[in-house]
């Protein structure tokens, strides 16, 4: 979502996501459309995050995922 540069000169690529999208959904007895959508979102995020980590490694940056748990609920 954005890049932060610290006072020390470190660069951090920040991704903000709901915590439910950061964990694999539990497989229900019956695979519903909702489960399929959540599973697709999880798989898509994993691919994006792997690419982001590779990019950050290449550029000497850090990668951080932040959820509402780190931000707090308002």
Per-residue pLDDT of the chain (74 residues; tens, 9 = 90+): 899 999 999 999 999 998 888 888 888 888 899 999 999 999 999 999 999 999 999 999 999 999 988 887 65
Give me the residue label for tokens 């931000």: 71
Among residues 20, 3, 35, 25, the alpha carbon closest in space to that of 67 is found at 20
Q: In the prediction, which pLDDT does 74 show?
A: 55
Dist CA 19 CA 70 (whole Å): 10
């Amino acid at each position: 979502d954005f890049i932060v540069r610290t006072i020390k000169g470190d660069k951090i690529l920040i991704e903000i996501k709901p915590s439910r999208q950061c964990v694999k959904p539990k497989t229900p007895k019956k695979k519903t459309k909702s489960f399929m959508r959540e599973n697709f979102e999880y798989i898509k995020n994993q691919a994006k995050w792997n690419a982001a980590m590779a990019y950050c490694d290449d550029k000497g940056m850090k990668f951080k995922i932040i959820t509402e748990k780190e931000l707090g609920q308002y």
